[in-house]
Homo-oligomer: A and B are copies of this chain.
Amino acid sequence: MGENTDPQELDRLFSPRSVALVGASPNPYSGGYAYAVHLLQDFKGKFFFVNPRAEEVLGVKTYPSLSDLPEQVDYVICSISSEKVPSLLEECSRKGVKIVHLFTARMSETGREGGEALEREIVEKARRLGIRVLGPNCMGLYNPEVGLTYGYSFPEEPGPVGGIFQSGGLSTDFVHYGYLRGLRFSRVVSYGNGRDLDESELLRYFSWHPSTRVVAVYLEGVRDGRKFVGALREAAEKKPVVVLRGGRGKTGARAIRSHTASVAGREEVWGAVLRSCGAVEVDSFDELLDQLVAFAFLPPSTGRRVAVLGGGGGKSVLSADLWEREGFELPDLGPSLREKLKEMCPGEWDWVGNPVDFSILQERPVMPQEWLEMMDDSGDFDFFVFNLTEDDPLPEEVWRFWMEEQVNGLLRFRRRGRPLLAVVPSAGVDSRELRRWRWEAIGEIRRRMVEEGLPVFPSAERAARALRRFADYWEKRSRKGISPSCSSGS
């Protein structure tokens, strides 16, 4: 489909110095209101509101039309009804606009002939005028570097994660929930029907984009299979590309037609294509987040020998089961480490093992940091998993003290720069719980870990699944002889 823009040029389009919002609205239920708020609060460049039926929106003067603006603009956010878009494009052309984001929807995704025809007309017209179109039927662009955003509470600071989302709601969830896991974003693009700027061109863009180290993709279908395969292969050789597909089942395939007018491909073909391109496929939104956390926070590694520490017996046993299920091995403690332990805890040295069951250790407090260091020094382990032991039968003060000790030790060990991750169960509780100190404290600990750049997972199974795909990806890359150093983690 159409002519592509060079990635560097596309980056200029994605970093506008001035934006016009056509359809700025005082109605807080509307997109025209939300974009007005975001421009007002976050955008670092110049912006203008257009609305022929209002004098001002949120205290900002509005212009009756784009043509009435006092100067040229780089980027237009369009939140007016679809039939008015073609004439808007003429005005855009006269104002030097190079890209139009169509928040405007109700086109091909309605399944009606008129919608499909209008969408085609708009894109063809834009091409003739040399204007790129993002959408229609999408949330658009989040670029924290210039303060362009489409969601409430999106972080202001940028980061290494890029996102290509066919669904605007999922991309919003991705930023909101990813933020809490410590993810920060270079750019996230919600591209909806993708009639002009499509998934392939966006992949090429993120593949090139220097400060993007890992890319998340949510796809419901592709416009041009051949082009997509080429773009994906190229991108996945440069940096990890994590793909979540919608419409894999019968009903999902039906639902995507009414969502982004996509046509899902044959399931068996899809899996094979993604694998052969070197992409990392995940099966759910939670897995998408987990996978991004792994790639964003851990240095490249192909190792499968894992040290598991923390938690009582049951948690240790279940953790071991789940890590092994994903193809990892938990080597037992070696002879020299046993010798050291023999001095430190003569009654437990031969009883404790890997996973390290903290409830066994009662003779002498071998602290988490000490354990981690000894295991690291042994050279027998590629990475380290810390299960936060929050189920000890201890009264509040003692419990808090012991938790603090664990976390401080963990964060001190982290200075060694060894691959380390934490498993902290999520209670699914927020504020105002009846008996709240426990959950508040665990929440604080999780926040502290995340702020320190530690990858935190809510369960052993989710951690193990993400780490398996992580190690598989780096193994495949190293087999191809591509050094992982270029996209090394923090």
Contact = CB atoms under 8 A, between A and B. Distances in A.
B258 A429 contact: no
A353 interface: yes
A351 B111 CA distance: 7
B251 A360 contact: no
B250 A166 contact: no
A395 interface: yes
Given A258-B352, A259-B317, A431-B431, A176 B391 contact: yes
Interface string A152-180: 11000000000001111111110011001
A398 B315 CA distance: 43
Interface in A345-396: 350-355, 357, 359-360, 389-396
Nearest to A259: B313
Interface stretch (A196-204, A268-276, A282-290): A282-290
Contacts of A258: 313, 351-353, 357, 360
Contacts of A426: 426-428, 458
B317 A29 contact: no
B320 A252 contact: yes
Interface in A215-235: 218, 220
B435 A153 contact: yes
Nearest to A137: B313
Interface of A: 28-29, 31, 33-34, 37, 110-112, 139, 150-153, 165-173, 176-177, 180-181, 218, 220, 244, 246-252, 254-256, 258-260, 283-286, 311-318, 320-325, 329-330, 332, 350-355, 357, 359-360, 389-399, 424-433, 435, 438-440, 442-444, 446-447, 456, 458-461
24 contacts: A34-B395, A151-B393, A152-B399, A165-B314, A167-B313, A167-B317, A172-B391, A173-B391, A180-B428, A218-B314, A246-B314, A247-B321, A249-B321, A251-B330, A251-B355, A252-B324, A255-B320, A256-B313, A258-B313, A284-B318, A285-B315, A428-B458, A430-B430, A430-B447
